[in-house]
Amino acid sequence: MAAERTAAKLTEQPQAHVLLRGEGDPVLFLHGWGTSSSLFEPLLQPLQRDHMLIVPDLPGFGETAPPPAAWGVNDYAAWTLALLDRLDIERCDIVAHSNGARIAIVIAANSPQRVHRMVLTGAAGLRHRRGPMAWLGVRWYKMLRRMSSARAAPAALRRYAESRAQRRGSEDYRAATGVMRGTLVRLVNTDLRSVLPRIAAPTLLVWGDSDDATPLADARVMEKLIPDCGLVVFERSGHYAYLQQAQRFVRIVDVFLSGQG
């Protein structure tokens, strides 16, 4: 296999845009929501010396088209496994961030024979119980959305409701459009807590101590529930700890995937 094959086009639906680099044992990289394979670029050069790196743009991001309908995590997992099948990869290591880690968790739990080792950083997948104020906020947001599209309502009222709705909801939700907005809702409303004990692959969690998107408390829960799991905390780092301390992250990943740690 060539040392680097950039932007190989595969025939999945949606068609996959994927970077393939290096030679050796395969490592699949799965990026987070709202990003693309390009965000892993600082990690690829040092790791491709000893590994074959598989770095796709997930459907709806980068150069891969959105899914045909609102997808959940199981749909993304099936798409990813189809990609590996297309590349004749029976088993691989996985390095995944945020929503990519959500997909990796499902693959490792439901298809354990496909995963050798996993490194999850800032992993999403735990749904937190909403308090009364959060519940009211969601109800108010939905009411504003209905009002903004109600044809019977005066135009001024529709504009007011739309402007108020635009100020509510997460930044990711406001940025998402079309099928990706429904996809985001399906993903964030899925709690993977119950599948974590089914993960057989040795798993390393790498977390920023100041992560405000997936708090360190989530890492503590995952560490307890995944049978063979360790946790490394990066000080003074946030949700993108793997980029904030890229050299340190690469060293840790290299050692862990080699089976030395």
Which residue ranges form the domains of the chain, and what is each CATH number?
Answer: 4-127+190-257 (3.40.50.1820), 132-178 (no CATH)
Write the CB contacts of 156 (distance below 8 Å, at least 6 apart in sequence): none
Q: Per residue in 215-245, pLDDT tens?
A: 999 999 999 999 999 999 999 999 999 999 9
Q: Average pLDDT in the 175-193 region?
A: 90
Q: Nearest-CA neighbor of 250 among 60, 69, 40?
A: 40
Q: Per residue in 88-139, pLDDT tens?
A: 999 999 999 999 999 999 999 999 999 999 999 999 999 976 555 444 554 5
Q: Is the pLDDT of residue 260 over 80?
A: no
Do 26 and 92 form a contact (C-beta atoms < 8 A)? Answer: yes
The three-state (H, E, C) secondary structure of 168-219, written as one string: CCCHHHHHCCCHHHHHHHHHHCCCCHHHHHHCCCCEEEEEECCCCCCCHHHH
Q: Nearest-CA neighbor of 59 among 187, 199, 173, 239?
A: 187
The average confidence (pLDDT) of the chain is 87
pLDDT of residue 2: 44
Q: Is the pLDDT of residue 85 over 60?
A: yes
Token pair of 218 as six digits: 């989530």
CA 73 – CA 37 distance, rounded (Å): 18
Phi-psi region of 125 (alpha: psi -120 to 50; beta: other; left: phi over 0): left
Do 245 and 219 form a contact (C-beta atoms < 8 A)? Answer: no
Query: How many C-beta atoms surround the C-beta of residue 4 within 10 A?
Result: 13
**Quick check: pTM over 0.75?**
yes
Range with lowest mean pLDDT among 69-78, 110-119, 145-154, 175-184: 145-154
